[in-house]
Amino acid sequence: YLTVGIHMFGPSKIPMLHFRGVLFLCVILALPSQLLFSLLLMTQIALLVLDNISMNP
């Protein structure tokens, strides 16, 4: 799951709606509490990616 998430976050030209859809899928996949920490890491990475997109269009 973590590698899939990293691959999803790889391309930085993802449209906003698609990005939110991927993030929602990651949330659903991470619902087993085993992956909650990975979910927190993914949200942090997502915020960093969003900041980079808004700063570097």
Nearest-angstrom CA–CA distance, 50 and 30:
20
Paired tokens of 50: 């969003």
pLDDT tier for residue 38 given thresholds of 50, 70 and 90: confident
Q: Is the pLDDT of residue 1 over 50?
A: no
User: If 0-12 CB within 10 Å is exposed, 13-18 middle and 19+ buried, where does residue 42 land?
Assistant: buried
pLDDT score, position 42: 84
pLDDT tier for residue 39 given thresholds of 50, 70 and 90: confident
Percent of the chain beyond pLDDT 90?
0
Chain centre distance of CA 18: 11
Residue partners of 35: CB distance under 8 A and separation at least 6: 1, 29
pLDDT score, position 22: 78
Write the DSSP symbol of residue 32.
Answer: S
Rounded to an integer, the average pLDDT of 27-50 is: 76
